[in-house]
Structure 1
């Protein structure tokens, strides 16, 4: 099985990501369970605005989309800004939505039999709101959302340290949720590998 982490930090990969640091707790579980993992920092790429799977003119989303199609588990990670998921996270959801008209061999949404979760960090409120937005987006396009697949850490309101600087890895609630998320995602992904969703009643033809 393969797990793909779409890191929607506004920072490129030459800078540390708090969201990535929390995701590492889940990644460790994936590794133990024999799940191949890959992390993509979307800020490193030129991703066009739009709601198709390829916007052309140098759009680098199609290469990322190939990784999504190959994944059994998709985890989106985002920081919080003004209590909302990042602009890149919104862009990622829009581009995923752009591929929702594509189908598998049974005529179902291409995202059927994939499972998804979300990782959020920030130093202000909004984690549950952002999680709800991301997970609804996943469910709407056909990605299955198992229970307890939102892992988050937030610090005090206003400017301040975020996950890494505040030693968030010592927060049992945040790290515990990341581990629960990973276990539940792996369990449901294995179910779908052995027993995919039947095509009856949910094809797009």
Structure 2
């Protein structure tokens, strides 16, 4: 069996509920976390709403008029992780406002470059977990996973999982008799997502990340055009 003990994973829960309130999203995220823990991955769960995160698209918003901003401290853990799993509830068919804030703050770091001159998220794997009691898992996952790949994360096959109850008011994932923790479809997708994230992160890490040919921002700025057919147009 493969060894994943050199990997780090950060699970960021974008619930609207502060601790110690029960988060159904966190309940499902912990299933994925437990799978990775058993494989020796160093995991960490962060509930973003418990922290003072400023709005904005800069690395440290205290440099742009905000009195405080905990994002730079959280960024240290995100930067060190090989895997990022974003968890969010569904509200009005969309990811939570906290999830959008997270994406904006991730975007703030997207211009950072690694030692190859690639964007800094290259070589990292991303996934998404969604819960709620209204439709929209695939729509929310589509939005979140698009954002992750756009800033540079690599998305493995079947990188999303979720659970929803009946449409309209009803039981949430962790509520008694909801059926959420026993749902075979959710169990299967969460398991496959977790393993695919570990597989991909290990492949990327042990191969030194993505090759830099054709995608190095530093080389592009230095004049390389990587066989673009119109190199004279600059």
Report the TM-score when normalising by structure 2.
Answer: 0.86
Equivalent in the alignment of 1:18:
24
Q: Hey, what's the Cα distance between the residues in 1 that align with 2:45 and 2:32?
A: 12
Tell me the SS of whatever aligns to 2:10: strand
Matches within 5 A, 1:17-166: 17-56=23-62, 57-165=67-175, 166=178
Equivalent in the alignment of 2:189:
177
Over residues 112-135 of structure 1, what are the superposed CA-to-partner deviations in whole Å (9 max), with x where a residue is unaligned? 110000000000011111000000
Moved over 4 A (4+): none
Over residues 10-35 of structure 1, what are the superposed CA-to-partner deviations in whole Å (9 max), with x where a residue is unaligned? 00121111111111221121012110
Question: Any unmatched runs of 5+ in structure 2?
Answer: 1-6, 219-234
Over residues 43-81 of structure 1, what are the superposed CA-to-partner deviations in whole Å (9 max), with x where a residue is unaligned? 001111111111113111111111110000000000000
Determine if contact 1:103/1:110 at 8 Å carries over to the other structure: yes
CA RMSD of the aligned region, Å?
A: 0.8
TM-fit CA distance, 1:167: 3.4
Report how many residues are paired. 205
Over residues 154-185 of structure 1, what are the superposed CA-to-partner deviations in whole Å (9 max), with x where a residue is unaligned? 11111111101113101011111111111000
Tell me the SS of whatever aligns to 1:19: helix
Determine if contact 1:22/1:175 at 8 Å carries over to the other structure: no
Q: Hey, what's the Cα distance between the residues in 2 that align with 1:63 and 1:88?
A: 17
Q: Which protein shows a greater Rg?
A: 2
Q: Hey, what's the Cα distance between the residues in 1 that align with 2:156 and 2:173?
A: 25
Q: Hey, what's the Cα distance between the residues in 2 that align with 1:194 and 1:32?
A: 20
Determine if contact 1:123/1:158 at 8 Å carries over to the other structure: yes
Larger relative contact order (Cα-Cα within 8 Å, sequence gap ≥ 6): 1
Tell me the SS of whatever aligns to 1:121: strand
TM-fit CA distance, 1:149: 1.0
Over residues 124-148 of structure 1, what are the superposed CA-to-partner deviations in whole Å (9 max), with x where a residue is unaligned? 0111110000000000000000000
Report the TM-score when normalising by structure 1.
Answer: 0.98
Determine if contact 1:43/1:88 at 8 Å carries over to the other structure: yes
